[in-house]
A and B are shown apart, each in its own frame.
Chain A
Amino acid sequence: MPTESISAMIEEVRAGGLTARAAVTAAVNAAERLNDPLNAFLQIDRDGAVQRAAAIDENKSTTQPLRGVPIAVKDNLCVIGMQTSCGSKILGDYQAPYNATVIERLIQAGAIIIGKTNCDEFAMGSSNENSAFGPVKNPWDVTRVPGGSSGGSAAAVAAGIVPAALGSDTGGSVRQPASLCGVVGLKPTYGRNSRYGLVAFASSLDQVGIFTRSVGDAAMVLSVIAGRDQLDATTADVPVPNYTTDLTKEVKGLRLGFPRRLFGAGLDSEVRVAVESAMDAYRELGVEIVDVELPHAKYAIAVYYIIATAEASSNLARFDGVRYGFRAEEANELRSMYRRTRDEGFGPEVKRRIMLGTYVLSAGYYEAYYHKAQQVRTLLREDFRKAFESCDAIITPTAPTPAFAIGEKTDDPLAMYLNDIYTVTANLAGVPGMSVPCGLSAEGLPIGLQLLGPYWSEPTLFQLGDAYERARPFTVRPPIHA
């Protein structure tokens, strides 16, 4: 059985009780064995991963912080020697010629990438049903979605295959599946991590995020991957602390903002009760709960689906059948080659978003939609700035409901978009957010709470998340588990 916690695994590897090879082999075995029910992996690199682990075992002298830790990576991050399909037929088995910076940093830290995880096509979706390679199943109930778009990474951690996985979060694509699968999911501050080698969806919103079993493990991984990168001009020159140092610091006296109005219509009553009960746990720890207002949060989905689709329509213009990936065969003229390649290569949700983005940017509509959305984005950022004058972090549900059934929302894109109501605000404002498991529904499905903080407040989020974990440990495991 694979080890669930990074810290425990590293201790075992250091003490000599566990080799990297054994840890990685256990993870690869579990990934292969559970891929039939879960469909979490699109590629499992057994030979490569075991070889790299053996090389780590050879090299005794190293002090690498993630030595021998098996990690799964969403299939929209470039890893040399593996495919990068983005869950899309248009890229298929595309092999990237370079590593993403976050991958390079994981490798330098001794981590072993064991494979690429399934996701919604180009990270567009909240259920994983938009993957060209079939949906991922939720390990808690295989008739339900794992959330999206990083559903494969969430399921891989939830099922105990790997102790950590990377995803990308543009509107909640790490936090929402973390919530639906009962694991920790972090989206750092915009500019905290490099996106070099992350296939772009919406560049002013995209951020690489982390799935782990515990808050402490997320802090360990962020300490490794965060920081300025010359290859990504959006990374900020802000020092990277060791995020594990202050993890267990007392939370007494911290103030947690409660945006009461977001706990109303559309929120499942079990989710509301679970998050309110978590607020009680914080009160018992000496955290002060204060009312805050985010007056423009209710417009966040509308703003998001203008800005994200506009950016996507530009970013996805590069997929034209010329330089890489799929090309439609029968076209005998350039323009029709582009159009057929994109028609056959992209799935319906990607086409829908490209068209919506093209529409909101087109002549005559730009002012009414795109410009207006960017103005409301400014107002939303102001809301957060003001709210954080009176609190250290804000608590909300991560998702309005527990995991829903596969097929339940596929015919209604708008209903699907509303899943992201609590998560998109953080991407629009650029602030960090983290989902932490906070209970199970009557049907036995995980519920997550979300903590949002000011820019660069990841240490506070970790501190609050870790304190909650210790006060209310989440120890249940899903029926499908390694």
Chain B
Amino acid sequence: MPINESDIEKIAQLAHLEITPEELQIFAPQITDIVAYVEQLNEIDTHGVAPALGGLTPAGEATDSTRPDEVRPSLGQRTALAEAPDAKAGHFRVPKILN
């Protein structure tokens, strides 16, 4: 199915990406090609086949990944904020959300 520029715009919106008009022109045919390629999966009869749920091996599935719910030391506020582009008074600051 061909994917046109307005489809790409819609997808970009969903993905929180701003796409320039030049990028639109490049991405639309490329993504159309890739989607056409992956559609070869339609040749395969998958009726009644259970979908894989992830990457785990049987031993991985059998591993008990729970642990006691105990309070343990964590990064702490100072470290957690250290790499923020804009932090103030122990918070992440962002531009206004509501107009």
**Chain A interfacial positions (CB closer than 8 Å to B):** 94-95, 97-98, 189-191, 203-205, 228, 230, 233-238, 296, 299, 301-303, 305-306, 313, 317, 320-327, 331-340, 342-343, 346, 348, 351-352, 354-356, 358-360, 362, 369, 371-379, 381, 413-414, 417, 427, 430, 455-456
Task: Please give the distance in Å from B59's CB to the nearest CB on chain A.
Answer: 5
CA A362 to CA B7, docked complex, whole Å: 12
Cross-chain pairs A/B with CB under 8 angstroms, 24 sampled: A95-B83, A97-B80, A235-B60, A301-B37, A303-B38, A306-B38, A321-B85, A322-B85, A323-B80, A325-B85, A339-B17, A343-B18, A351-B17, A355-B8, A355-B17, A355-B27, A355-B31, A369-B38, A373-B38, A376-B49, A377-B52, A413-B34, A414-B33, A455-B57
Known: A323-B84, A343-B20, A355-B17. 10 other contacts (CB 8 A): A97-B83, A191-B56, A238-B59, A302-B37, A317-B16, A339-B16, A339-B17, A355-B31, A360-B38, A376-B46
Q: Which of A98, A321, A362, A379 contacts B46 (CB 8 A)?
A: A379
Looking across the interface, which residue of chain A has its beta carbon closest to that of B44?
A376
Q: What 6 A-B pairs come out closest when comparing CB atoms?
A: A374-B51, A204-B55, A327-B85, A233-B65, A324-B83, A375-B46
Chain A residues in 8 Å Cβ range of B46? 372, 375-376, 379
Cβ-defined contact, A97 with B75, below 8 A = yes
Q: Which of A97, A337, A343 contacts B82 (CB 8 A)?
A: A97
Check: B90 CB closer than 8 A to any chain A CB: no
Task: Please give the distance in Å from B92's CB to the nearest CB on chain A.
Answer: 5
CA A417 to CA B58, docked complex, whole Å: 29
Q: Mark B21-35, 1 if CB is under 8 A from A, else 0.
A: 001001100110111
Check: B15 CB closer than 8 A to any chain A CB: yes
Cβ-defined contact, A332 with B96, below 8 A = yes
Chain A residues in 8 Å Cβ range of B18? 336, 339-340, 342-343
Task: Please give the distance in Å from B72's CB to the nearest CB on chain A.
Answer: 11
Chain A residues in 8 Å Cβ range of B54? 203-204
CA A279 to CA B38, docked complex, whole Å: 33
Chain B residues in 8 Å Cβ range of A327? 85-86
Do A322 and B94 contact each other (CB < 8 Å), given the known contacts A235-B63, A302-B38? yes
Chain B binding surface, main DSSP class: loop
Looking across the interface, which residue of chain B has its beta carbon closest to that of A355?
B11
Looking across the interface, which residue of chain A has its beta carbon closest to that of B20?
A343
Cβ-defined contact, B83 with A323, below 8 A = yes
Chain A residues in 8 Å Cβ range of B7? 359
Do A455 and B85 contact each other (CB < 8 Å), given the known contacts A303-B41, A372-B41, A375-B51? no
Cβ-defined contact, A296 with B44, below 8 A = yes
Cβ-defined contact, B17 with A337, below 8 A = no
Chain B residues in 8 Å Cβ range of A354? 15, 17
Q: Which of A237, A306, A322 contacts B92 (CB 8 A)?
A: A322
Do A324 and B59 contact each other (CB < 8 Å), given the known contacts A374-B51, A374-B52? no
CA A98 to CA B75, docked complex, whole Å: 9
Q: Which of A334, A379, A455, A456 contacts B97 (CB 8 A)?
A: A334
CA A115 to CA B9, docked complex, whole Å: 40
CA A190 to CA B54, docked complex, whole Å: 10
CA A204 to CA B61, docked complex, whole Å: 13
Task: Please give the distance in Å from A378's CB to the nearest CB on chain B.
Answer: 5
Check: B6 CB closer than 8 A to any chain A CB: no
Chain B residues in 8 Å Cβ range of A374? 51-53
Chain B residues in 8 Å Cβ range of A95? 82-83
CA A348 to CA B8, docked complex, whole Å: 14
Cβ-defined contact, B16 with A234, below 8 A = no
Cβ-defined contact, B51 with A94, below 8 A = no
